[in-house]
């Protein structure tokens, strides 16, 4: 199967609105699969899963932007954010991503095999319980754009200060 990255443009009417999922608006799942806020929440992360192998594992579904681990007590969960999904030659999103969307509000399990010994000889299967991340991730700004905005803001403040000195 050939993979390609396809950027889909969604109108403001097609914006992912996670709050509407709780009201039963299931059209939001399609918006999630085609939005800029594409993110998966993983309920539990095994100790053997680190950022590097998480990025490697999830890169088969799309262009991974980031993986963020959150630990509360003894439980670690994760958010996997994507720049874009991969589509096959028929422009179909990966079946596991569709399954995560259609399982909402429940979870869809994805299996991952990780080394559980120091010698990296023993593999163990873990099931990751994944669901749609209802927290919309804001797209990161370009660092150069951020610096230009800061410079412009500082220039405005300098002008204000100079006017006050006269």
Spatial contact of 95 and 101, defined as CB atoms under 8 Å apart: no
pLDDT in tens, 51-99: 998 999 998 888 888 899 999 998 999 999 888 777 766 555 678 887 8
Ordered by start, the domain boundaries in the chain are: 4-138
Question: Quick count: other Cβ atoms within 10 Å of Cβ 108?
Answer: 20
pLDDT of the residue at 6: 36
Locus of tokens 């919309």: 136
Helix (H) or strand (E) holding 70: strand 62-72
d(CA 161, CA 84): 44
pLDDT in tens, 98-126: 788 878 888 999 999 998 888 888 899 99
> Within 13 A of 149's CA, how many CA atoms are on the CB side?
6
Per-residue confidence band for 146, with pLDDT thresholds at 50, 70 and 90: confident
Beta bridge partners of 115: 123
Alpha-carbon distances of 135 from 68, 77, 82, 123, rounded to whole Å:
13, 14, 13, 33
Question: Quick count: other Cβ atoms within 10 Å of Cβ 46?
Answer: 13
d(CA 60, CA 14): 25
pLDDT of the residue at 10: 34
Its pTM stands at: 0.65
pLDDT of the residue at 95: 81
d(CA 96, CA 8): 19
pLDDT in tens, 3-62: 443 333 333 455 666 666 666 666 776 767 666 567 899 999 998 899 998 999 998 888
Q: Is 4-138 assigned to CATH 3.30.70.330?
A: yes
pLDDT of the residue at 142: 61
**DSSP 3-state of 84:** strand
| Cis omega (within 30 of 0) for bond into 165 | no
Helix (H) or strand (E) holding 161: helix 143-165
């Amino acid at each position: 199967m050939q993979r390609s990255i396809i950027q889909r443009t969604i109108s403001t009417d097609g914006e992912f609105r996670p709050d509407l999922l709780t009201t039963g608006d299931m059209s939001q799942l399609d918006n999630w699969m085609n939005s800029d806020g594409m993110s998966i929440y993983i309920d539990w992360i095994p100790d053997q899963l680190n950022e590097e192998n998480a990025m490697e594992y999830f890169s088969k579904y799309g262009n991974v932007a980031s993986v963020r681990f959150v630990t509360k007590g003894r439980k670690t969960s994760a958010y996997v954010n994507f720049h874009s999904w991969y589509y096959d030659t028929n422009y179909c999103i990966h079946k596991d991503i569709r399954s995560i969307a259609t399982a909402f509000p429940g979870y869809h399990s994805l299996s991952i095999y990780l080394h559980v010994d120091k010698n990296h000889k023993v593999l163990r299967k873990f099931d990751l319980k994944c669901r749609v991340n209802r927290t919309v991730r804001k797209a990161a700004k370009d660092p150069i754009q951020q610096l230009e905005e800061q410079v412009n803001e500082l220039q405005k403040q300098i002008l204000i200060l100079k006017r006050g000195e006269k």
